[in-house]
Every structure is written in C-alpha cells, then in structure tokens.
A = this chain, B = another copy of it.
Amino acid sequence: MTDNLDEKKTLAAEWFAALRDRICAEFERLETELADDMPHADLAPGKFERTTWERPDESGGGGGGTMAVMRGGRVFEKVGVNISKVGGTFSEQFRKEIPGAEESGGAFWASGVSLVAHMRSPKVPAIHMNTRMIVTSKSWFGGGTDLNPMVEVPQDTADFHAALKRTCDAHACADYPRYKEWCDEYFFIKHRNQARGVGGIFFDYLDSGDWDVDFAFVRGVGECFLDIYPALVRRHLGETWTAEDREWQLRKRGLYAEFNLVYDRGTRFGLMTGGNPEAVLMSLPPEAKWP
C-alpha cells in the first residue's frame, strides 16, 4: 500500500508519461500500417513532435509540461497528447471552488495526461481522453473519455461503452452507470441542446480511501483507451468518403470548438489561470466551419 504522498505523486506522473509514450507509439503505428489502397496512402506517415513548456508561478510553484503533437498525418489530421505536472497557489477567489484548497492555504499540485484526436477521415471518430491527479489538502483522481463520431455508428458506440463498462466493473472504486451519466451531462452543448458526441465516462473527485485501488482504475482507463480506440480507428480506416462527409465533419468540429471554449472546465481553467495557451487549446480542431 502506497502511503507516502510524494511517492503517489511520482507514481501518477510517471504513469501519465508512460501512457503518453505508448499512445504516441500506437498512433504512429496506425500512420505507418495504412494500406496502400486506403484513402490518404499518398501522404507521408505522420509523426509526433514534442515541445516542453515551463509554468512561471510567482507564488513559488511552477512545473510545466510536454506537448506531443502530430499534424497532417494520413490518419490523424491533428492530435495532441499533453502531459503536465504543475504546482503553486490558487488565488483567494479560485480556491473556494476547489475541494481542500482553502485548508491548504491555496497550495495545489496537479499532474495529468490529456488527449484530443481530430481525424483526417470523416468516417473515423474523433476522441478525447484525460486522466489527472490533483492534490490540495485532499487528493483525488479525475478523468474520462468520450467518443465523437461525425455520424454515429451504433456498433462503435456499443463497443466503446462496453469496453468502458468492463473497465469500471473490474475496479471496486468505479461506478459505471454514474460515470456514463456524468459524461452525458458534462459533454452536452446546452445552447445547441445537443450532445457533443456519443458519450463515454467522466469522473472527478475520486477518492475511495484506498489510493492504490483508485490509481489502478485510472491506469485501467488508460489501458482501455489503448485497447478500444485504435480498434475503432482500424475498423473505418479503409472507408472512402465524399466532400459532403467532409463538410459535415467541419460543422461537427465547429460544435466541438464551441463546447471547449464555452463550457469545458479544463480549457477555461487553463485560459483563466494563465496556462500555456498552445497546450490548453491543442484540443481545437485543425479546421472547422460555421457556414
């Protein structure tokens, strides 16, 4: 049992970085294994580029992160996989909104991995995945993943949800029905009165009392993602698509940008607290339309 907080922080941050490495490797494999007769086989396989950033913090904290971005690939039009490890002191105003932050005098530590993939083909679903560990005077995990097809494919939706259910069911701390509902509530574009995608899971403030159990679940979410998403991508890679499919994709991406800029807590938190805008806004689509 892990009972040292510094050890927990180290284990979590190392896991997020290791997961990032495995995701990047798997996504580059998708780029290279594309068959010659499939759409976009004429393009060169995309590769990730990494840039690190540091977070100046006048309160004595700091930290930073690494952006891994692939642009203009054959499969991935733009995908960012960011990891970060930051610490510092929340403003008087902001600490009221964060559990345990008033008791910590505003002090916080956070580490996580965050991924958004916008796909070249309108037939391949876009996706978001994020897991994080936050420490104030309390300590918890949060995260989730949601699938964003341009046009829903019921079998994909079913397989995605089934994989997440299996992962939750395998960990005593996780509550699949609640996390699924939380996801539907969270990724809802209220002003459009429509869901952003076809759902998945969303969880926050996860602290069952047994950090090792919670951390095992968070690792399980990462493993689940690595298992199911590349399978869904491979399922649709060979499909052809039309200019109309692309047009619809660009409109759906407009809605995605609306959600992230208007509602997404992570995005707004990042922008409002002086996070690295390039990293925070890596989630925005490479191209979008509001015709």
Cα distance, A291 to B77, chains bound together (Å): 9
CB <8 Å contact, A289 and B286: yes
CB <8 Å contact, A286 and B277: no
Inside 8 A of A286's CB, which chain B residues have their CB? 289-291
User: Is A285 an interface position by the 8 A CB rule?
Assistant: yes
Identify which of B71, B272, B291 contacts A291 (C-beta below 8 A). Answer: B71
User: Is A224 an interface position by the 8 A CB rule?
Assistant: no
- A 259-291 to B, binary, CB cutoff 8 A, 1 in contact else 0: 001100000101110110100110011111111
8 Å CB interface, A14-52 against B: none
CB <8 Å contact, B287 and A258: no
Cα distance, A71 to B291, chains bound together (Å): 8
Cα distance, A271 to B188, chains bound together (Å): 13
Cα distance, A250 to B272, chains bound together (Å): 24
User: Is A95 an interface position by the 8 A CB rule?
Assistant: no
Cα distance, A257 to B254, chains bound together (Å): 10
Cα distance, A290 to B289, chains bound together (Å): 12
User: Is A78 an interface position by the 8 A CB rule?
Assistant: yes
Query: Min CB distance, A2 to chain B, in Å?
Result: 36
Query: A-side binding surface: helix, strand, loop or mixed?
Result: helix
Interface residues on A, range: 20 to 34
Residues of A within 8 A of B (CB): 71, 78, 190-192, 250, 254, 257-258, 261-262, 268, 270-272, 274-275, 277, 280-281, 284-291
Rank and list the top 10 A-B pairs by shortest CB-CB distance, nearest first: A261-B261, A284-B290, A191-B271, A191-B277, A287-B289, A261-B262, A286-B291, A288-B288, A192-B277, A258-B261
Cα distance, A274 to B288, chains bound together (Å): 24
CB <8 Å contact, B262 and A271: yes
Q: 14 A–B contact pairs at CB < 8 A?
A: A78-B291, A191-B271, A191-B281, A192-B277, A254-B284, A257-B257, A257-B290, A258-B261, A262-B271, A285-B290, A286-B290, A288-B288, A288-B289, A288-B290
Inside 8 A of A78's CB, which chain B residues have their CB? 290-291
Query: Min CB distance, A267 to chain B, in Å?
Result: 9
Cα distance, A288 to B258, chains bound together (Å): 12
CB <8 Å contact, A268 and B262: yes
Cα distance, A272 to B256, chains bound together (Å): 17
